[in-house]
Amino acid sequence: MVHHIQVGLTIFIFVVSALSFWGSLRSANPYGRHMLPGQRNTMPALPAWLLFEAPQFFSFALTFWLSASSPSAAALTLFALWQAHYTYRALIYPLRMRDRHKRFPIASVIFGILFNGINGFINGYAVAHAPHLMNAAWLHDPRFVIGVAVAVAGWLINFQADTILINLRRDGSTGYKVPHGGLFRYVSSANYFGEIVLWCGWALMSFTPAGLSFAVFSTANLLPRALSHHRWYVEHFADYPRERRAIIPGIL
């Protein structure tokens, strides 16, 4: 029964990815610089990020520990990486944000809580049950080894880009500046590029449909948003570096 629910929800994430890609190409999700003027039904951004990212942490942990009878080293590695990332994303990242007056739409918070709760559940369940992850040989499988390397590289790129953006407001300002350094040399959304690389690495190392669904969702969600960010930079900064792409160095 739980297995069928997990499969159904994984298919649901693929469907949401397609809808999200189509919707985000038409208009950017209205938060941050894409917030609509006079937008109503918003809440402070700091508790918003805590609220909607936390289900990834709790839902994954609860499902994993309730389902895994004797987790393998590979499953425990995946568990540790997921929890480490969401300790950062749900707790440390919101506390690092400098602009304490920023608002966030309540509708997006509700969507985030539901989506992230489902995503934590399907991935926690997949990691606890996938037969290949129970096998000690998976730790030496090239998919696992390369997946770990790609995920860690993506996480480092994302963390460095987050840090560069946060430091742009170190002087107490609240507006936007042109980011420099790290992969911002090549793309406008180095943070999104790192995030997509991270979840592609996770999909490879876990090798489950649930892992793949989150890599597909992250790409479907962040790629169109990066195109919107890039257009916004070009429109607002006359001296914006011409060689810089939106999200994929040298390509897009």
Residues of this chain that interact with ligand NAP (CB under 6 A) are: 32-33, 97, 99, 102, 158, 162, 165, 168-169, 176-177, 179, 191-192, 195, 218, 221-222
Q: Which of 142, 244, 236, 158 is nearest to 197 (CA)?
A: 158
Least CB distance to ligand NAP at residue 52 (A): 10
Q: How far apart are CA 73 and CA 135, in angstroms?
A: 9
Least CB distance to ligand NAP at residue 7 (A): 22
Phi-psi region of 182 (alpha: psi -120 to 50; beta: other; left: phi over 0): left
CA angle 217, 155, 213 (to 5 degrees): 20
End-to-end CA distance of the chain: 43
Contact predicate 43/109, CB 8 Å:
yes
Q: How far apart are CA 199 and CA 147, in angstroms?
A: 9
Least CB distance to ligand NAP at residue 124 (A): 16
Write out the two tokens for 6.
Answer: 């997990």
Contact predicate 211/148, CB 8 Å:
no
Complex with ligand NAP: residue 23 or 32, whichever CB lies closer: 32
Complex with ligand NAP: residue 52 or 144, whichever CB lies closer: 52
Complex with ligand NAP: residue 7 or 168, whichever CB lies closer: 168
Angle, nearest 10°, between helix axes 2-26 and 106-129?
140
Least CB distance to ligand NAP at residue 104 (A): 8
Contact predicate 221/22, CB 8 Å:
no
Least CB distance to ligand NAP at residue 237 (A): 9
Q: How far apart are CA 120 and CA 58, in angstroms?
A: 8
Complex with ligand NAP: residue 148 or 247, whichever CB lies closer: 247
Residue nearest ligand NAP, CB atom distance: 32
Complex with ligand NAP: residue 2 or 99, whichever CB lies closer: 99
Least CB distance to ligand NAP at residue 245 (A): 15
Complex with ligand NAP: residue 120 or 179, whichever CB lies closer: 179
